[in-house]
Structure formats: C-alpha cells, structure tokens
Structure 1
Amino acid sequence: MSGLRFGVIGLGVISRFYLAALERVPGVRLAAVCDRDAAVLEPFGDRVARFTDHRELLAAGGLDAVVVTVPNDLHLAICRDALRAGLPVCVEKPLALRAAEGEELAALAAERRVPLFTAFHRRYNAAVRELCAAVAEQPLPVRSVTARYFELIEEHVGRDRWYLDPERCGGGCVADNGPNAYDLLRLLAGRMELTGAEVVRDGGGVDRYAVLELAGPDGVRGRIELDWSYPGELKDVAVELADGSVLRADLLAGHQGFKQSLWHEYEGIVGEFAGLLGGHDSGDGGDSGDGDGSGGTAAARPAERGPDGVDALRVVEAAYRAEAGTTGAGSAGLTGTDTGAGADPRTEVRG
C-alpha cells in the first residue's frame, strides 16, 4: 500500500475526525493506532497495528508521522517521545498545558528538524476560508476582529470527562476553546497581545465564561468571547474594517447536525500536515511509502512546522494572570485580585 503512514495516538472523542480524514485525504493512510483502553482498539482488527503504549508504537517503526489526540496533560510527554524518535507530530490543540512546555517541544522539533504541527481546526473551516479571501481583497485595513465560541461543554465531551478537570485540561473554556478562537484572530489580523480579561468560574473552579481583549500591530483590536454553558452552539467571527463595515463568517453555516462542521475541518488539518511531510525523511529511516524513493531533505524550515501553538498558550496564560491580578510579559494594564506569589490562577475559584 502506498501513502504516508500515520499513527494515531489516543482514540477519544476527537479521534474519529482524524480517522475519517485519513480515509479521505489523498496520499495518506492509517498504519497504527494506540490507546490505553484495549477495548477501543478491537474494532480495527488486523487492518492496522494496535498498541496500548505509545512508546511501543514508536519503537515498532514503520510510520512517517503521528497524530496525538490524547488528554491535554499527556501532550508534552507523548509529543516529546515522538519528536525524539524523529517523527513529525500533528497534535490536537492546545500544544501543551503551559507555554514553557510548548517552548520545550518547539525547541526539540527545531533541534531534530521535524515538523511540529498544532491542529487549530477552525482555520480550515470553509466559511473562515471565504472570510480570509474577502478580507484579503479589501483595500481597507482591519480595525478589529471578534470571535465567539459558545457551546454546552457537557454535550461535546462524550466519554472524555477529562475536559472538565482543570488539572488535565489546563483550565476551562479559556484553555480549551481559547486557542482556537485566538488562532482565528491571528489568522485574520496577525499576532496579538492580551490587554484585558474577564473570567467567570463555576462553584467547582472551572472557568465557564470569559471575554478576552487583545491588541495587535497598527492599533488593530481583538475580542474573544467564550461560553461553556450556552444552550446550543454558536461559533462565528466578525471582521470590522477601517470604514466601519463588517465582514462575518458563521462557522456552522451549511453544516446541519451536531459537530458536522468538524469533518471537513479535520480533512484540512490532515491535508496541510501531509503537505509538510513530502520532503521529510521518516523516523525509521525508510522512505515514506509513497513510491518515489526520493527521501527529500530531513530539514523542516520554520514555515513547515505549521501554526504556532506556543503563541496561543502565551495568550491563555496571560488571561489567567489577568484574572488573578498578576503581571507578566504581555499582560501590562491588567487588573484583578492578587492570588499571592506562586499561585496558579487556574485553581482559583472566583466568586
């Protein structure tokens, strides 16, 4: 069989979108799966290699890349092991729990010269693509971008209850949905820095609602609105131009049914990630299985590493610092109640 050989590590609620994309995107194929729960491996039968330990999957070789879609608190260890094995990594957002962890992975990827690709699936949404094209055609500069990300989180997590555990998720709505929303702002108006944040937590300490204010170059403004308690689902983005006119994208338009927009978005992820691998040698030293035998170059240029997952983690951390009233790089002018030196704002319950 030809095609880039992918291993999928983690078979939770999001994995089905990757698995479907691997069947539909040309030039790729599923070669191995891994999950701690042996029961979820059974449906694959003998069609692909099956593992209950990612280290065994990596040691077995025969792969050109891995997709990491495990609970957020496991991203660092699994991505680190894969990069050390010389394998390109596509990891579900967020890249890690903390910016320092993301920086460690980015440095390792650069050292090993392999792609590290953070999967921000909303940038591959058809309506977002159309909005990007429309903005690019405008002679007027962008004045502001607002992204709204509303959902009832309990409807989305399925059996993956770890989303509701701040220690495993890295926080609540800010840590989980914030990176996707920020990536839309960055896609449309460039990198931004946080200037203010309002974060509302439930009685269990989980942030369920947040508004983040950001600023970019040339005075462009950004706003992110997040809600984990919304009765239904609303995902959209609005771009205000210098003359006050507004261009909008409804990310759910044309996709009837729960999570239906994700199918085409994850095809976009797999397609773009696979496109980065054409000139990259596989981790086991063999050819990619695509039949050309060229091997290409092992070096991954910076532009070949995909969207910057570290930048989104910095914004998330700045938002939690703003809530706690602490300061740090990129958080000037934020106000709140100081939790004290060394306190982790993710564990603070706000009244």
Structure 2
Amino acid sequence: MENVEKQMREHVKKLLAEGTVDVVVGYEEGTLPFQTAPCFITDPDDAKRLVWNRFCSVNLAKYVHDIIFGHKESQKRAKPEERTKKTVGVVARGCTTRSLIIHLQEKQYDRDQVVIVGVPCTGFVANKKMSVAVDGKEIIACSATGDSLSLQTKGGEKKVSLKEVLADNCLTCRFNNPIISDVMIGEAAPPMPDVEKEYEGVEAFEGLSVDERWAYFTKEMDKCMRCYACRNTWPSCCCKACFVEQNQPKWVGVGIDETDTQVFQFMRMFHMVGRCVDCGSCLEVCPMGVDLRKFLKKLDKDDFQLFEHKAGEAIESAPTLSVHSEDDKEAFIFEP
C-alpha cells in the first residue's frame, strides 16, 4: 500500500500543478490511530497529506457531488457568460466509482467535471469489528502487516486476522477495482475471499416466515434514533429537500414513533433500489448498529434476479427504477 500511496500523491500533485483539477478529494490521517478523514487538497504541496490504508472507509463520491453542486448554486447570480465549472479530482476505489457512475447516469454533473484517480482495494477494516476483537477496550495504536492487524490497548497488544475485522461488504465485494478511471494507480487487486457468499445472509433471511422477517425488521428499527447519519453519508442522496423534512405534503413524522421510524427506513431503502453500491458507509456511521445491510442486500438480490441489474456496474445500465423495458420480468407481480 505504501507504493500505491506514493504514486497517488505524485499523480494528485501533478493534477493540481497543471491546473487539471480545482480540488482533489482524498483521505488523510484522522485524529484517532485507526481512522482516516476526508480531505480536500487545493495546493500541490499538500498532496503529501494523502494516505491510502486499511482505514479509508468513507465513500468519497458524496463529496464530489456536494462540491460541484455547491459551486453550481453559487453561480446562479452570475451572468451566463461569466459562469464557471468546478473540476474535482477524487481518489476512488471500486465502490466509489460505482457511485460516481450513478451520478453521471442521473446527470448530476458532466463527465469532464470529475477526474477519477482509481486505486485497487483489498478491503477496509470495520471499526465495530475491531472494538469487538479487543472486548471494547480503548485502542491507542493500530497497524496492519500482511494478513494480520496489531491492536494496541492499555491492557496490552493483540494480533487478529485481517479477515476477522474486514468489513462484511468488503469480504464479498465483486467490484474491488475501479470500474472507470482517468488515472489508475498500482496493479489490479485480486478477488476478495468470500465473493460467492455475497447473498448468504440474505438467503437465510428469505428462509424465515413472513412473521419472523417482520419481527427481525421491527427489532432492528427499534434501535434507530433517527439521527439521519445513514442518509447523510449515502453517496447517491442528491435531493435538494429530503422527504422526511417536507411538510407540504408531510410524508412522515419527525419523532421516534415506531411507525414513523419504520416508514422513514422503508422509503429510504426503496430510494436506494438499484443505487446502493454496498460501500458500507451507512453501517460505519450508524451509532446504534442497525443491520441495514441485510435489507439492502435483499433489494440488491431482487434487483439482479428480476432485472439483471447491478448498481453502477456500467454507465449504460441506469438504475432500475429510472428505466422501463417491455422485456422486464412480470411473474413476481402475479405470483409474489
């Protein structure tokens, strides 16, 4: 990863120095030993801040959209002939490029407004899994070596298998290499170890009775405190006004009433049909540990089986609910 990091810094520095981009979105060291944070580089000399390691978990596509959209909004008062475009560079692994493809499919910005610095990915570490590995003790230092992770706590050091703490979405990822890129860093990453188990949890869920599935859903939703972290981090959330904050019409209450919470999550998930790239961002930011992935992977499985569609797999393949084909399967309508 050190070689990838070095090449990435060199390419980003060159992009900024040549004026190819106005800003580059990447990762830098966070304030904790096992975390990184999004950073926004505008000075070529600041490219040295960029890092690439097992803790780069956030899907950066969200920031690309927000920067371009914010600049576009700021141009509204300018004369048409004086308006400018913002060009954004972004460090992107496979799932990030899938989100960028969805942005392009939905005409959120033009292709020439984003320069994609593609990086191969072999998975990121899930913070919650690390915490479990050390029985909740405070981690004061962390380092990855080969296939193991060394976790230093006040009680001592513990080594764990990397596979034990990798995010579930990474272990089963089919798209761990960038789908599109303008600059490709390093060599392609090998396939992830559990690709064939992508829908294992979903199939077990499908095997439950309707009542058992509903009981599981309500149990998980009871944890939700409506902080909207999952919505705010979702890279394909591009609405100017969210349905949960609208009052004309009012779709759902803003409290934590059981029904309102369930409706919020129902509607949010259906907005994600054909647009969820399984990047794991919502799981990482959820403070309550709601099992959102199981429901999203169920929708992803149905999307693939019924419409042969994978979110962000190709620019030509638009999100399922935004297109219509006379060849769409219809048996599930009459035989649910």
TM-score, structure 1 normalization: 0.28
TM-score, structure 2 normalization: 0.29
| Greater RCO (Cα-Cα under 8 Å, separation 6 or more) | 1
Q: Which structure carries more strand by proportion?
A: 1
